[in-house]
Amino acid sequence: MALRTGDQYAEKLTKMQPNVYVGGRKITRDDELLQPAINTIKFTFAAATDPEFSEMACAKSHLTGETISRFTHVHRSIEDLMVKQEMTRVLCRKVGGCIQRCMAADALNGVGVVSKEIDDAKGTNYHDNFLKFLEYYQKNDVVGNAAQTDVKGDRSKRPHQQEDLDLYLRVVERKSDGIVVRGAKAHNTIAPYADELIVLPTRNLTKEEGDWAVAFAIPADTEGVKLICRVSAPRQRRELKAPFNTYGMADSMTVFDDVFVPWERVFMCGEWELGARLALLFANYHRHTYCGCKPAVTDIIMGATALLAEYNGVGNASHIREEISELMVIAELVFAAGIAASVKGKATSSGIYEPDFLYSNTGRYLAGKNIYHEYDIMAATAGGLPATIPPEDDFLNPEISEYLHKYIMRKPDVSSEKVHRLFRFVSDFSCSAFGGVNQYAGVHGGGSPIMEKIGIRANYDLEARKDMVKYLAGITD
């Protein structure tokens, strides 16, 4: 078995070179600020050996035959795609949001497919590099990130047209033993507590843009890498402990200040024609994953909305029941799009399966467009208390605690503690700094809705639909 424990993972982090910056200071990876985020990743290690999850959380390596974490696996079948999506929904429900390790798995799959396609087209040797990296990744149960999104500068300009050419990450030097890269990747979830960074291009590239067509993997503490972070977690509790408040996440602007990457860790370098294929394929895998994680978020919003209504004594109010039905429709349509993308998935020349682009993008689009609507339903049902609930310390102050417990009561058969717990959860989940980050993640993570729309339109046979109507209307050209 090639499985690590959460403690082994956390212990390894303490041995890494400090290059993480939070709030103006450089921290080590055992800093308490990172602990909620590290707890989320520890949960993925625990899930691999927990009988409740292990069947879906583990896979068999096609390279070594060993049992590995599914987060280090590449999809060898339609079944693999389906299990990944299901696992994502199940694990996200348990941590109350993003499970985070999926990003690197999506990057691995994308790089695995495209490194082979480049070799097929150009006679290069990138896929061997990938397979060696994958074996190391699986054997060591590595935690990776996906560093795709460039900072991008002026959005109306291509990489080679930017005033500062580093605004998209690029190769600045090619040496006999490797390459030197410079630039920065934005919004990199998990990077500050990942072992490895997996870097890939963010967009289509033109022939002037060979230097920007680069994909590679390096340890996250490689010299020249700087991880400038924002950490976020639900508010910490003093006594009213709850599982949700033990987890969190962090992301970084990941700066590559002339970073050396040895050739054996390079998976693309200069093949601009395949830049779009890799960028879109990672997006395809990640949007397929969203068809698992986003329904989990809707599950939580739905459960909270139903409980709020029940505790408030309006569980049977018809307008609230209607809105909860709408949440059910959104959750299951997004999930169904992921299933469709899996079932219509196809093997690539590498043997790795890719999900159907149209359905994974349709699912992700639907999820992104509805996220604020879903929070709106929950907020409307909650009333104002998630915004104004007094801090936990007031509930612990004997002078005023009695009043708070008396006046927070709703239905007499629901204790004040349960009401307190529910409203504090909803406040932490939605009406907090952490909630705000997750709302933006719901819109933009995996690609903003407009990007899915563009992708869908580019791959949709609209002409066939026009011909259909011409036929029905008796129009001949």
Ligand X SMILES: Cc1cc2nc3c(=O)[nH]c(=O)nc-3n(C[C@H](O)[C@H](O)[C@H](O)COP(=O)(O)OP(=O)(O)OC[C@H]3O[C@@H](n4cnc5c(N)ncnc54)[C@H](O)[C@@H]3O)c2cc1C
Select the span of 5-13, 125-133, 350-358, 434-442 touching ligand X (CB under 6 A). Answer: 434-442
Q: Report the C-alpha gap between 184 and 186 in whole angstroms.
A: 7
Residues paired with 197 in a beta bridge? 145, 218
As a whole number of Å, the end-to-end CA separation of the chain is 65
Cβ neighbours of residue 232 closer than 8 Å, sequence gap 6 or more: 248, 249, 250, 433, 434, 437
Q: How far is the CB of 408 from ligand X (least distance, A)?
A: 32
Contact with ligand X (CB under 6 A) among 189, 350, 361, 362 = 189
Footprint of ligand X on 239-268 (CB under 6 A): 251
Q: 3-class DSSP state for residue 284?
A: helix
* Residue number with CB closer to ligand X (292 or 445): 445
Q: Does 352 bind ligand X (CB under 6 A)?
A: no
**Contact call for residue 155 and ligand X (CB under 6 A):** yes
Q: What is the DSSP string of 119-163?
A: HHHH---HHHHHHHHHHHHHHTT--EEEE--B--SSTTS-GGGSS
289 binds ligand X (CB under 6 A): no
Shortest Cβ 152–ligand X spacing (Å): 6
Least separation in angstroms between residue 228's CB and ligand X is: 14
Q: How far is the CB of 457 from ligand X (least distance, A)?
A: 14
Is 338 near ligand X (CB under 6 A)?
A: no
Strand order in the sheet with 196-199: 144-147, 196-199, 214-219, 266-269
| Least distance between ligand X and beta carbon 50 (Å) | 26
CB nearer to ligand X: pick between 168 and 335 = 168
360 binds ligand X, rule: CB under 6 A = no
Beta bridge partners of 250: 231
Q: Which of 85, 109, 188, 381 binds ligand X (CB under 6 A)?
A: 188
8 A C-beta contact, residue 104 and residue 198: yes
Window 101 to 140, contacts with ligand X (CB under 6 A): 103
Task: Name the residue with tokens 């050396």.
Answer: 260
Residue 413: enclosing H or E segment and its boundaries?
none
Min dist CB 319 to ligand X, Å, is 32
Interface positions, 224-243, toward ligand X (CB under 6 A): none
| Contact stretch for ligand X (CB under 6 A) within 115-123, 186-194, 292-300, 355-363 | 186-194
The verdict on 147 binding ligand X (CB under 6 A) reads: yes
Q: Which is nearer to ligand X, 76 or 158 (CB)?
A: 158
Among 27, 194, 220, which residue's Cα sits nearest to residue 100? 194
Count of residues touching ligand X (by CB under 6 A): 22
Q: Tell me whether residue 153 or residue 315 sits nearer to ligand X (CB atom).
A: 153
The span from the CA of 385 to the CA of 213, in Å, is: 50
How crowded is residue 233: how many other Cβ atoms within 10 Å of its Cβ?
24
Question: Tokens in use for 220?
Answer: 């996250």
Least distance CB 122 / ligand X (angstroms): 25
Using CA atoms, how far apart are residues 350 and 67, in angstroms rounded to an integer?
Answer: 21
In this complex, which beta carbon is closest to ligand X, that of residue 281 or of residue 422? Answer: 281
Residue 289 and residue 106: Cα distance in Å, rounded?
8
Which residues lie near ligand X (CB under 6 A)? 103, 145-149, 152, 155, 185-189, 251, 437, 440-441, 444-445, 447-448, 450
